Structures are given as structure tokens and as C-alpha cells.
Amino acid sequence: MTATFFHRLAAIIILAWLGVGLAACSNFVKGGDNRHNIPLAPAMVKALHDIGSSPGEGMVVRIFKKEAVLEVWKHTNSGQFKLFKTYNICAFSGDLGPKFREGDYQSPEGFYTITPGLMNPKSAYFLAFNTGFPNKFDRANGRSGSNLMVHGDCKSVGCYAMTDGGMAEIYALARESFKGGNSSFQVQIYPFRMTTANLAQFASNQHLAFWRNIKEGYDLFDLNKTPPAWDVCENRYIFNPVAAGPLDAAALCPPTVPDAQVAARKAADDKALADAGNAITRQAATEAAIKDRGAAVSGFFSGIGSVFTGGQQAPAPIVAATPAQ
């Protein structure tokens, strides 16, 4: 074998080694289809800078079922998060309310933490990230399900489906956030915008207790523009707990960081729900009284009729078999 052969072999080995090294620099470099690596459009980068942010800053995603929208919020140089862009949701399955079991066709609700391992660049539905359902809360409450995604292709069976164009932007924003050094981003999924008025409309709903629980996290973010830390105790969500470290999902909850504005909203919710409950009770009483009056009137006329028939049922008229002459 000649020296030239060895030189070529050495060059091939060096190139292969460099290829492995370069691949290890990025968790997002894959072979084949490169849609997951398409750069953010210059207009998107400029829009980020206009709000005091950049592609590598942290992000938060909020999803609202009833309004069918997905919001992307970005961390800014003010220290708070600002709404960057809102996307229409093409489709989600099921009704308002959380997911309970595999196969119930419900899209989940609650708080989820998305890490790079939940990103799916090879999704059959264009691009996707897994919500991480079931999370700690879901498992503590015996809920089951798998592969609950936010993805493209506008089709949903328990997922949140976006347009391919919208999903390409959302995926790229998440990718760049991870590349900027952020280990995760938070996804908050709600049945509707969690205002006091909207909550009062569902005062008799079976999911009210759960919705009031996640509304604590909604209010914290809405007021402070910073994603709240969340954990699970007493089989419910707890936000900004004082205790450090993971909590026992079934154990008693520790104290939380007090927030006067959130407490004021809770008091307003209590009053609105009490008023709504009283209105429901009054409406039910009115309908029952109308029904009772109707029954009494019917009974009265039935009694009048029995007077003229001697208390006996009036005989049925006789119909001749042949026409009368």
C-alpha cells in the first residue's frame, strides 16, 4: 500500500470524526427531511427584537380551547414575558374539560413542562412536540393517555392541531429557545380565558373545582407575566410553593408565596360563583313552582269535569258502523 493510500485513509477518518463531533453539537441535526432546522424568518427575528427579546430567550405557550388559540410568550429584557404571537388552532377533540383516560378523545388541560426530549422532528403530522401527558398531576389522579401532541396537519384525536406553517414557526421558536440555554418551556392549557365572568358561566360544571385550581396559575402569570413554578400535593396543583424540591403528590401542601392581587381575584371569583349559584337555585325554584301550578290547574279542571259526570268517567261516543240516513 502506498503513502497516498494512507493519506486518503487518514483524511476519511478525520472527516468522519469531525462529522460525529459536529452532530453532537446540536440535538436537532437529523438526516433526511430538514424542516425542523429551517431558520426563523428575518421578520420573526425582527419582531422578537421589537419586543425586547431574541430567539434564544425563554418562552411560554398558552392554549385556550374555547377560543381555539395558541399563544407564544417570550422572555424580554424587562425580566417579564410578553405576548409574541397568537396562532389559530385548527382542531382539538373532545369537550371543555381535562383528559381522564386513554381513548376518551379529550385534549388535555393543565400545566406541562416541555424538554428537548419531547420534541418530535419526524412526526407524521409535519412537526410536533409532546405535551408530556400524563404529568405528575394526571398520574396522581389516575388519568391515562399517550402521545398527546401539539402538531401540524390540522387533524386531531386528543391533540392540538395547527396549520403546518404555524407549527413550523412554533417548533422553530422552541428549538431556538433550547439552543439559547433554556432546559424547558412551560405549556399552560385552559378550557377558556380564565376571567371571573367566564368562570361564573360554568358555576354548575362538574370540572369547576379543577378549573379553579389551574386558574391560580393563570392569575399568577396574567398578573406577574412570569411563569409560576408548579408542583402537585393533595392531588392538586400548587403554584410557587415555599418548600424546595419535589413534593409528594398525595401529601399535605406546604405554604405558598402570598400574592395580594391573586387573593383579590379569588375573592371576586368566590362572589361571582356564589351569585351564579344563587341565580341557578332561584331559576330551579321558579321552574318547579310553574310546574306545580300547572299540575294544580290540570287537577282543578279534572275535578270540575267529574262533577258533571257524577264522578264517573264520561262514556265514549258511539260511532255507527254505517253512515246515518
CA distance linking residue 214 with residue 229, whole number of Å: 12
pTM of full prediction above 0.85: no
Of the candidates 72, 168, 88, 185, the one whose C-alpha atom is nearest the C-alpha of residue 127 is 168
- Does the pLDDT at position 157 exceed 60? yes
**Average pLDDT of span 302-310:** 60
Which 3 state secondary structure label does DSSP give 60? strand
The answer to whether the CB of 176 falls within 8 A of the CB of 75 is: no
Which 3 state secondary structure label does DSSP give 267? helix
**Average pLDDT of span 244-255:** 94
Length of the chain: 325
**Average pLDDT of span 3-15:** 46
Return the domain boundaries, the chain.
28-192
Residue pLDDT, tens place only, 195-236? 999 999 999 999 999 999 999 999 999 999 999 999 999 999
Confidence of residue 155 (pLDDT cuts 50, 70, 90): confident
**Average pLDDT of span 115-127:** 95
135: which DSSP letter? -
Mean pLDDT, the chain, rounded, equals 86
DSSP 170-201: HHHHHHHHHHTT---EEEEEESS---HHHHHT
Which 3 state secondary structure label does DSSP give 62? strand
What distances in angstroms separate CA 195 from CA 79, 234, 272, one per listed residue? 25, 25, 11
- Does the pLDDT at position 283 exceed 70? no
The answer to whether the CB of 291 falls within 8 A of the CB of 234 is: no
Please enumerate in sequence order all residues whose Cβ is within 8 A of that of 181, keeping only pairs 6 or more positions apart, or say none. Answer: 56
What percent of the chain lies above the pLDDT cut of 90? 71
Burial letters 192-227, b for 16+ CB under 10 A, else e = eebbbebbbebbeeebeebbbbbbbbbbbbbeebeb
Residue pLDDT, tens place only, 38-74? 999 999 999 999 999 999 999 999 999 999 999 999 9
Which 3 state secondary structure label does DSSP give 28? coil
CATH of span 28-192: 2.40.440.10
Residues with active-site annotation: 151, 159
- Strands 110-114, 185-190: pairing kind: antiparallel
CA distance linking residue 66 with residue 53, whole number of Å: 29
pLDDT of residue 285: 65
Question: Can the peptide bond before residue 134 be classed as cis, meaning omega within 30 degrees of 0?
Answer: yes
Residue position matching grid coordinates 310546574: 291
Residue position matching grid coordinates 422532528: 121
